[in-house]
Amino acid sequence: MRVAELNELCADRNLMEPVRLRDGKDGDSLRAQQTRRGKALRQARDRVYGDMLIALVSDRKN
């Protein structure tokens, strides 16, 4: 899933709200919200939630 898709999914389903809304406010830029979400996901990498795994997938071509 790409970052844009992940952000849309989180917004549609109100996922990761504490990460997205710093201090409960929605005034930050979209980029700031994406950065915080990315940092939170990086910290959660390799964790399993139910039947889902948070994993790093690279599509970069060498």
For the chain, 62 residues long, give each residue's pLDDT as a single digit of tens: 676 777 787 778 887 777 767 665 666 777 887 888 888 888 888 988 888 788 887 766 65
Give the closest residue to 16 by CA, choosing from 46, 1, 32, 38: 38
Cβ atoms of 10 and 16 within 8 Å: the answer is yes
Reported pTM: 0.61
Q: Distance of CA 52 to CAs 5, 10, 32, 40, 60, Å?
A: 17, 15, 26, 16, 23
Cβ atoms of 7 and 34 within 8 Å: the answer is yes
Residue 54: how many other CB atoms lie within 10 Å: 14
pLDDT attached to residue 25: 61
